[in-house]
Amino acid sequence: MSTIAGANLYLCTSAMGGLSPLLEFVEQCIKGGVDIVQLRDKDITDDEIIRYGRQLSDLCHEYKVPFILNDRPDLVAETLADGLHVGQDDMSVAECRKIIGDKMILGLSTHQESELVEASGKEINYLSVGPVVPTPTKPGRPGTGLDYVRFSAEKIGNSIPFFITGGVSPDTIPELYENGARRFVVVRYLTQSDAPQKNARLLKDAIKRAQEIDEELKLDSA
């Protein structure tokens, strides 16, 4: 199983209109380079969450990719998920830990500097930061801008993995990387794609190229 620290391309997906298309889509994304998968869907039943979650868990584990469930600590065990992701308005980190235990992955969304500072002392394994730009997946939430990305990189450094959300694409990754982002959550660039494996590969290649440029700059300045 890959680790959160070693991952840099995080897929967040809905149920995609059914189990078969969901599994096919996620497998294509993983083959393209996705190394964490989250199921986030507020409109399906608990039974569907469990059924879809178990199938996704099996698929992700086949490829040694962590599977994360959104917002439902009570269903983490039943879906065989590797962990849980919660937002600022969901159950508290402390309560989630009581339910899922110490060994499960736990991630938390942050949208402003005060939330990031407060989160740094909690029992979490990773943070999400953003959305950098407004996104339909978070209606009504303004974009945080690049200042928040830079603040996160300066405040957190390498102490805990953080993933940038909002408008991630091959075109935006270079600028995000320049401002301190190293890990990325993607939704629409993959979920709205007719070629998710190809698009995932384009994202992964953009991250790799940004890493190479960063290393070149470090060598030049040494």
Query: Residue 202: inside a domain, yes or no?
Result: yes
Query: Residue 30: inside a domain, yes or no?
Result: yes
- pLDDT-derived band at 220 (thresholds 50, 70, 90) equals confident
pLDDT tens-digit profile of 2-40?
A: 689 899 999 999 999 899 999 999 999 999 999 999 999
Is the pLDDT assigned to residue 182 strictly greater than 90? Answer: yes
Q: CATH number for the domain including 199?
A: 3.20.20.70
Predicted pLDDT of residue 143: 87
Predicted pLDDT of residue 219: 83
Q: Would you list the DSSP string of 40-85?
A: --TTS-HHHHHHHHHHHHHHHHHTT--EEEES-GGGHHHHT-SEEE
Find the distance separating the first CA and the last CA of the chain, reported in whole Å.
35
Query: Residue 41: inside a domain, yes or no?
Result: yes
Query: Residue 3: inside a domain, yes or no?
Result: no
Predicted pLDDT of residue 114: 94
Q: Name the residue range of residue 37's domain.
A: 9-221
Domain tally, the chain: 1
143 or 172, which is more confident? 172
- pLDDT-derived band at 222 (thresholds 50, 70, 90) equals low
Query: Residue 199: inside a domain, yes or no?
Result: yes
Q: Within a 10 A sphere around the Cβ of 176, how many other Cβ atoms?
A: 23
Is-contact 144 114, C-beta < 8 A?
no
User: Within 63-145, where are the H helices?
Assistant: 76-79, 93-100, 113-119
Average pLDDT over residues 187-203: 97
Is-contact 166 144, C-beta < 8 A?
yes
Query: Residue 153: inside a domain, yes or no?
Result: yes
Is the pLDDT assigned to residue 203 strictly greater than 70? Answer: yes
Q: Give the closest residue to 189 by CA, choosing from 148, 141, 150, 135.
A: 135
Predicted pLDDT of residue 105: 97
Predicted pLDDT of residue 26: 98
Query: Residue 1: inside a domain, yes or no?
Result: no
Q: Give the closest residue to 211 by CA, choosing from 4, 6, 40.
A: 6
pLDDT tens-digit profile of 107-161?
A: 999 999 999 999 987 899 999 999 999 877 767 778 899 999 999 999 998 899 9
Predicted pLDDT of residue 118: 92
Predicted pLDDT of residue 84: 98
Query: Residue 65: inside a domain, yes or no?
Result: yes
Element (H, E) at 9: strand 9-13
What are the backbone dihedrals phi and psi of residue 50, each rounded to the nearest 5 degrees, phi first? -65, -45
Average pLDDT of the chain is: 94
